[in-house]
Structure 1
């Protein structure tokens, strides 16, 4: 069951669902306007969030900002009526590519077989839309490049493009009054270029950008809000793995041994997984050169 939680004075969020790949949805509430973060993976998802906020006495969203183009963050946009939607220019370009697509089981299966869709997404779409599949791709009303600041009245939201391996169009939302950074999916691996992978340069560039924000809370879309200490641990693992990847030239067993020797203990599950993603990315890069 999804739950509504509040952080600080201005931020509300609804918890994710793994089976249907529903990400966290956020709302920043100012004195005069409100900003919803991501539109959800279906109209039902978006409308549930708004109904639950209404129970808390919160107003309708004035704007909705999209963190990137992936289906689970945009399919709910058609259920938000005339709410002004905002994305990066690159997100809109990627969404335009979805306009001619069919979302039937047959069409999804064909795209999975052709390698233009992945089984994980096709399965999750089937779970979220078990009956009617009346999916409408609605393009954002406004686009920006680089950085956009929105005054909601007593609270500010900064939308900034950060990129990364998961989606080149990734945008984060920073709420300075709460020292909160909504990360979306930007720290996740590339799942659309099998095998799933991280690349050293894009990862390090992303981490440099994220660490420049003065935040105490970091919201990861398919997980939970985490503390500064938890964020620093994630960053440390990724930086260490990136460095070892280059030192070991992507040789996974050598990477594991080097990491284990440096840590002075056995690898934890998440560390081993991250090393595998970096090894995959290194191999992919070598194959393309």
Structure 2
């Protein structure tokens, strides 16, 4: 599938994602003085493709970048860039653990066995890099805690660490003038747990942080930009499940029934999956 360059506004351009090799959206925000790149890509090839398409379209090239979280598909393109790179302190700490990783099939498969990696990601890495595994983990040059504001020249980008189950180190990028939030993968469940899961505690922290932004558009890394109404529906579901999983003490049938009564219909497959993820999180917490 060919990746396309999309112009979202005069300031915002992004490259569409690819599911097969787990390439997320890469996006640039351009002000009068600077252009910020959000995420480095899942490989140098991914990063170089975006740069090539920007040049061909006559778009501004980035002179700084921000990493949304430590997962491989957002960071392994970093060596392609010789510009300042920004992350949370927690993201850098997680990336430091990866510096000495080996990336051959045997090493990947071993990390899957130990739980350091998951089968889905190992398969995507093998597909993205095929036989060429000259992978180098570069570290960000600038780190911060909690929140950092960048003035790109007439464009304000707020980088905020929001937590959540998917990757607690993660941040979102709020483009104030465009009322846009780059969510990255922040609202996804924890995929590295033995069973995919959400926890009420971390979900509430995430959603409370997202409430701070006055936004009309939200960008989900492995999907597309979506309207506020779409995210409001998802957030309402997550908040409701936070309450129900606690009220019914992780009992899946009772949670499902309560949610069906609330919606006055049968649940969709996605809603049923989310019920399962919250039940998994509740049960895992009991094991500690």
Q: Normalised by the size of structure 1, how large is the TM-score? A: 0.98
Alpha-carbon distance in structure 2 between the residues aligned to 1:7 and 1:59:
14
* Pairing 1:136-155 to 2, within 5 Å after superposition: 136-155=136-155
Give, in whole Å, the separation in 1 of the partners of 2:251 and 2:206.
23
Partner of 2:7: 6
* Shift of residue 9, structure 1, vs aligned partner: 2.1
Aligned counterparts, 1:111-122, within 5 A: 111-122=111-122
Counterpart-to-counterpart distance in 1, 2:157 and 2:259: 38
Cα offset, 1:157, TM superposition: 1.0
Query: How is 1:9-24 mapped onto 2 (pairs within 5 angstroms)?
Result: 9-24=10-25
Question: Could you tell me how far 1:56 is from its partner in structure 2?
Answer: 1.8
Q: What is the Cα deviation at residue 240 of structure 1?
A: 1.2
Deviations 1:93-131 (A, max 9, x none): 100000111011010011112222111110000010112
Which residues of 2 match residues 55-74 of structure 1 at below 5 A?
A: 55-74=56-75
Query: Displacement, 1:283?
Result: 0.2
**How big is each residue's C-alpha offset from its partner over 1:54-111, in whole Å with a ceiling of 9 and x where there is no partner?**
122112211010000000000000111x111111111111000001110110100111
Q: State the partner residue of 2:83.
A: 83
What does 1:167-186 correspond to in 2, within 5 Å?
Answer: 167-186=167-186
Q: For residues 180-199 of structure 1, what are the structure 2 equivalents within 5 Å?
A: 180-199=180-199
| 1:52 aligned residue | 53
Q: What is the rounded CA distance, in whole Å, between the counterparts of 2:218 and 2:51 in structure 1?
A: 22
Provide the secondary structure at the position in 2 that maps to 1:132: coil
- Report the counterpart of residue 129 of structure 2 in structure 1: 129
C-alpha separation in 2, matches of 1:152 and 1:255:
46
d(CA) in 1 for partners of 2:189, 2:126: 23
Q: CA deviation at 1:205?
A: 1.4
Distance, in Å, in 1 between the alignment partners of 2:191 and 2:113 is 16
Show the counterpart of 2:270.
270
* Structure 1 residue 7 displacement after superposition: 1.8
Counterparts in 2 of 1:236-255, with a 5 A limit?
236-255=236-255
For 1:39, the equivalent position in structure 2 comes to 40
Give how far 1:8 is off: 2.3
Give CA deviations for 1:229-263 in whole Å, capped at 9, x if unaligned. 11101111111111111111111111111111111
Provide structure 2 residue ranges, at least 5 long, that are not aligned to the other structure.
Answer: none
**In the alignment, does 2:194 pair up with 1:212?**
no
Q: Deviation at 1:146?
A: 1.1
How many aligned positions are there? 287
